[in-house]
Amino acid sequence: MAMTMTQKILAAHAGLAEVHPGQLIEAKLDLVLGNDITAPVAIKEFNKIGVKTVFDRKKVVLVPDHFTPNKDIKAAEQCKLMRSFADTHDIENYFEIGKMGIEHALIPEQGLITAGDCAIGADSHTCTYGALGAFSTGVGSTDMAAAMATGTAWFKVPGAIKVILEGKPREWVGGKDLILHLIGLIGVDGALYQSLEFSGPGVTALSIDDRLTVANMAIEAGAKNGIFPVDEATLAYLKEHGAKAPVVYHPDPDAAYERVVKIDLSALEPTVSFPHLPSNTKTVRESGEVRIDQSVIGSCTNGRISDLRIAAKILKGRKVAKGVRTIVFPATQAIYLQALREGLIEIFIEAGAAVSTPTCGPCLGGHMGILAEGERAVATTNRNFVGRMGHVKSEVYLASPAVAAASAVAGRIVSPDML
């Protein structure tokens, strides 16, 4: 039977010659991930199972990132539980203050994932790693607990949507604009429990950072995972970050897809998701007069060094508008240090922005950027549901770093070429 890229990875990890959509399989895992919201629940369930230790101390990864640095006593207790578990079981990959980062930026950066891997994480945006040719998906905390004990997980094999990319993006258009356009096109349930499989000549026009952004938000279309083909850029990234040897899978030419979507990257424009769904998209030109109170640049979606460089290019020599709180969140300590060395942090501060240690805080309305009633934020994050970033009567507009930075300067949603 012909298979897609995702189906081949799942078949290999299930020890099967082939799999088909809808089939239930048990697959071996290369990585099991949890954060400070989901891992504590998993740890408590793990302790009930009765096993002595985790299946592989190198393949379980724990990253406190949502409420760290600890915002209150409850957050501190959550992280203390994780820290104790990591110490007890000699977990090799535990990342906290000093070497911390936002989990989905940290995992690729640390070389903990490679092409051909099968990974799960108790966080919905675990699908990020499909950018590197891996199958990765989010699961619940109880699934994480079982996976830490057994090193396996049950899956229903997904069908697939083929997304063919053509052309090359224009200036100020990137991966965020692509995924927002796609979600606007197919809807938040348009890929429900399917694999979004990207292909076509346009893939090479996307940087690895762009691909990480796109795969990160596959879940916002309801997808089980998003995945990109492995090319020279992928292999170079994996080598640079010290990942283990990749296993490269290609979809069969006659693989079956439930739908084919074609996108011309050269036709894309800076795009914004209006409240309160990622699918509520408009181009910036269509957005009208949307005044903002806050601009957030960072997160697991767009907090990488290339994102910060784009924002700094726009903010250099400019000031953020009066009354606009602008917060920049480098996604990892390494990115923060690189931005410091390149002078980007100085640019942000001179422009009137605040720069924070890596955290998920504002993205989920946790801390460090909460919105009050009636306030609006443009953000490079991945969700804009009701109350996502604070008060239920606040509004979040999703956009690229270029749009978020330009909007901070203008005080309203604009693209850089409108400044």
- pTM listed for this prediction: 0.95
| Amino acid 378: pLDDT | 97
Residue 216 pLDDT greater than 90, yes or no: yes
Of all helices (H) and strands (E), which one includes residue 275?
none
| Amino acid 118: pLDDT | 98
pLDDT tens sequence across 173-209:
999 999 999 999 999 999 999 999 999 999 999 999 9
Residue 365 pLDDT greater than 90, yes or no: no
- Give me the torsion for CA of 291, 296, 300, 304, rounded to 10°: 110
Six token digits for residue 52: 């002595």
Q: What average pLDDT score do residues 81-104 get?
A: 93
pLDDT tens sequence across 120-163:
999 999 999 999 999 999 999 999 999 999 999 999 999 999 99
In whole angstroms, give the CA distance from residue 271 to residue 339: 26
In whole angstroms, give the CA distance from residue 117 to residue 136: 8
Tell me how crowded residue 374 is: count the other CB atoms within 10 A of its CB.
10
| Amino acid 419: pLDDT | 86
Band (pLDDT 50/70/90 cuts) for residue 363 is confident
In whole angstroms, give the CA distance from residue 271 to residue 274: 10
Cβ atoms of 398 and 294 within 8 Å: the answer is no
- Give me the torsion for CA of 116, 118, 123, 127, rounded to 10°: 30
| Amino acid 225: pLDDT | 97
| Amino acid 360: pLDDT | 84
Residue 213 pLDDT greater than 90, yes or no: yes
In whole angstroms, give the CA distance from residue 419 to residue 417: 6
Q: Kindly report the average pLDDT of the chain as a whole number.
A: 95
Strand order through the sheet with 259-264: 225-227, 194-199, 159-166, 259-264
Domains, the chain: 5-263 (3.30.499.10), 271-418 (3.30.499.10)
Task: Give strand ranges (E) for 83-217.
Answer: 93-94, 118-121, 135-138, 152-156, 159-166, 194-199
| Amino acid 372: pLDDT | 95
| Amino acid 46: pLDDT | 96
pLDDT tens sequence across 18-55:
999 999 999 999 999 999 999 999 999 999 998 999 99
68-72, 97-101, 327-331, 385-389: which is most confident: 327-331
